[in-house]
Amino acid sequence: MESPIDSYLRQIHAEIAKLKDGKPYSTIPAMANVDPNNFGIALATVDGEVYEVGDTREEFTIQSISKPFTYGLALEELGYEAVDAKVDVEPSGDSFNEISLAEGTGRPANAMINAGALTATSLIKGSGGQSGFKRILSTYSAFAGRQLSVSETVFESELKHGHRNTALAHLLRSFNIIEDDPAPILEDYFRQCSVLVNCFDLSIMAATLANGGRNPLSGKQVLEIGPVERVLSVMMTSGMYDDAGAWISSVGMPGKSGVAGGIIAVLPGQVGLAVYSPPLDAHGSSVRGLAAAQRLSRDMELHFVRAARTGRSAILAAYDVTETPSGIRRNDEAADLLRQHGHRARVIELNGDLLFAGTESMVRELSALEDGVELVILDLRRTDQVSAVALRMLEKARQGMAETGRELVLVEADGSVAAALGQAPGQDRAAVSFASRGAAVEYCENRLLERYGNRLLLPTKVPVSASPALAPLEEADAIAVQALMTAKKYDDGEVIRRVGLRFGGVYFITSGKVSTTSPATSGDGVKLNTLSAGMTFGELALGSGNRQETTVRAVGPVEVMVLGAEAISELETSNPRLAVALWKALTRDAYTRVEQYLRESVVRIRD
């Protein structure tokens, strides 16, 4: 099944591609002939999943998007105090190439404008046999997760036509902000701006910043968290120059643009976004890039105010129903069929907040389901917040599953998510929802029995002679045992056996269901299992000092046949052979039930 995020990106890419405003950057002649129709969007999560659409592998020069990464390298090598002495952290409110220098000191306002970026580049010296620029390029490559290279054509053009940057460098030298000959520093700066990247690379570089400086693909810690914190702070206030206020208001993520048409945005702890489209607006930022970032921020709730909590995978556990059976006792044929087809029903446990990051991990899990999976139980009981984007993506996933013949089943306390999904356009009903996982698993087991078995595996009435507990007996013996029983009926919710009662016989359910609960310190009983037609209860009291250790309650109307304690005593006296055969059959059935209890206890430990 296609991920809802992939289909969403395709949709907005098609819509935003229609924008024809702006023109590619022409001040540098080597950049003027780019195809204005190039347009790519890449979204990378902090665990390395990348969603991409359009021209995401088309290379272009990084330009001013290089600035945060060089600034981070300088901070890591020299420390805040040394770097702050050369370049400030205040927003300038000016365009990228303005002369924003402090009066008297000549200190640039921040490292995102060209004067500050030139200063940051001047702070990176050669070391370990590598020149200053080689060390800058190595850092960029570590952020991207692959070896990057330089466009020599663009570099030569920058060097030949970068008069304003040349003037800025000499002005900075006059204030001793740049302490050495500006010429080699200018070369390093023009080379760093001429590094070739693609949209995919930039999304990984942004995701590395979002991931606290650790590359989500390589696992390498490229930058420590302290410098990352400073870099993202300056990007938030100054990365978009004189358009920073509008960017913060409409996008709400630290961002950086480049005149080649690239834009990155970083949502710490969750995602890195990169967009590439060459036509620029009056501020030198990609027209389609801005539109895409605004749209994603709004639709995916990526604005820092909405996505303030650290994102993490929402997947706590995933397994099929054979690992956590419902607790319903089945006959041998039904149990064998569920073991054979149980992998077709999968349980996915979620936890934490379903903001963008949690939602992404959820829909990724749903999109990657194996072909044989037909039913999915989504356990939402540990989720704290289910955002609007989570509901939208979940509904899209639900629709995609339905188109491939799959069904989504929810586990939640109040049914609110199921009700919300039912209100989505094109849906005529809410999603199936249960308050407990056991009930949801039972539903899926029954669906599998209906599809791959026959009606006899889901009987509504089962005579005592057909009870699995008496299966080892000869037919005549089973009929003889049945003749000793008394028929009883119970209404919904009526207690049939209560904790502490003396052994009262063996109860054979002929129709309906009962639930068994065990006492808990909180006062509420812990539900153990549900028993349906053909199953028995009461006999386990014989192994507990003749005392009932669970409460058994009717779930809807229930009919039972009771083999009472007195009848059993009479049978032991009048027909010892049959009594022994009966106890062997009941013991065998009890062992089967204990095995089910042990398997179900694993689920309760998780809870």
Q: What is the CATH number of the domain that holds 336?
A: 3.30.750.24
Burial profile 173-203: b = 16 or more Cβ within 10 angstroms, e = fewer: beeebbeeebeebbbbbbbbbbbebbbbbbb
Which domain-ending residue is among 424, 456, 488? 456
Q: Same domain, yes or no, for 417 and 478?
A: no
Distance between CA 3 and CA 368 in Å, rounded? 8
Structure confidence at residue 159 as a pLDDT band (50, 70, 90):
very high
> Is residue 309, in this structure, part of any structural domain at all?
no
Query: Does residue 292 surpass a pLDDT of 70?
Result: yes
CATH code of residue 281: 3.40.710.10
| Integer Cα distance of 307 and 287 in angstroms | 25
Amino acid sitting at position 1:
M
Instruction: Judge whether 304 lies within some domain.
Output: no
Residues 96 and 244 in one domain: yes
> Of 246, 266, 299, which residue constitutes the final position of a domain?
299
**pLDDT score for 425:** 56
Instruction: Please tell me the total count of domains within the chain.
Output: 3
Whether 260 and 373 map to the same domain: the answer is no
Average pLDDT over every residue of 575-601: 76
Residue 433 and residue 481 in one domain: no
| Domain extent at residue 496 | 464-606
Residue-level pLDDT at 605: 45
More confident residue, 319 or 425: 319
Other C-beta atoms closer than 10 Å to the C-beta of 129 total 6
Q: Which of 56-65, 248-257, 284-293, 521-530 bottoms out in mean pLDDT, i.e. has the lowest? A: 521-530
Whether residue 549 lies inside any domain: the answer is yes
What pLDDT, on the 0 to 100 scale, is given for residue 588?
A: 81
Secondary structure class of 318 (helix, strand, coil): strand
In a domain, 307, yes or no: no
**pLDDT tens digits for range 77-122:** 999 999 999 999 998 766 666 676 778 888 999 999 999 999 999 9
pLDDT at residue 312 greater than cutoff 60: no
Query: Within this chain, do residues 416 and 505 fall inside the same structural domain, yes or no?
Result: no
User: Confidence class of residue 353 from pLDDT cuts 50, 70 and 90?
Assistant: confident
88 and 187 housed in the same domain: yes
To the nearest whole percent, how much of the chain has pLDDT over 70?
Answer: 90
Most confident of 247-251, 329-333, 353-357: 247-251
Q: Measured between alpha carbons, how far is 449 from 468 in angstroms, rounded to an integer? A: 17
Q: Kindly state whether residues 242 and 322 are assigned to the same domain.
A: no
Query: Above pLDDT 90, what percent of the chain?
Result: 65
Same structural domain, 336 and 433? yes
- The confidence band for 603, taking pLDDT boundaries of 50, 70 and 90, is very low
Residue 306: inside a domain: no
Residue 324 has pLDDT above 70, yes or no: yes
Q: Which residue has the higher pLDDT, 248 or 310?
A: 248
106 found inside a domain: yes
Q: What is the pLDDT of residue 94?
A: 62
Tokens of 461: 């009435």
Which of 57-71, 252-266, 328-342, 564-578 is predicted least confidently?
328-342
Q: What pLDDT is recorded for position 600?
A: 47
Rounded CA separation 256/206 (Å): 10
Is 308 part of a structural domain of the chain? no
Task: Write the burial class of residue 56 (CB in 10 Å: 0-12 exposed, 13-18 middle, 19+ buried).
Answer: buried
Please say if the pLDDT value at position 306 is more than 90.
no
If 0-12 CB within 10 Å is exposed, 13-18 middle and 19+ buried, where does residue 399 land? Answer: middle
Residue 311 pLDDT level (bands cut at 50, 70, 90): very low
Distance, in Å, from the CA atom of 35 to the CA atom of 243, rounded to the nearest integer, reads 25
Does 63 fall in a domain?
yes
Same domain, 445 and 472: no
Q: Are residues 189 and 323 in the same domain?
A: no
Q: What is the CATH number of the domain that holds 513?
A: 2.60.120.10
| pLDDT for residue 591 | 72
* 276 contacts 56 by C-beta, under 8 angstroms: yes
Q: Which of 397, 422, 456 is the last residue of a domain?
A: 456
Average pLDDT for residues 447-457, to the nearest whole number?
82
Query: Is residue 429 located within the same domain as residue 499?
Result: no
Q: Model confidence over 489-536: pLDDT tens digits? A: 999 999 999 988 988 899 999 999 888 887 765 555 666 667 788 888
Average pLDDT, rounded, for the chain: 89
- Would the pLDDT of 202 be above 90? yes
Q: Are 81 and 174 in the same domain?
A: yes
Q: Whole-angstrom Cα distance, residue 565 to residue 583? A: 13
Rg (CA), the chain: 34
Does pLDDT of 8 surpass 60? Answer: yes
Tell me, what's the pLDDT at 527? Answer: 65
Task: Give the pTM.
Answer: 0.74
Tens-place pLDDT, residues 455-491 = 656 677 888 887 878 888 998 999 999 999 999 999 9
The pLDDT value recorded for residue 426 is: 53
Distances (CA, A) of 197 to 124, 204, 221, 413, 584: 21, 11, 20, 48, 74
pLDDT at residue 461 in the model: 85
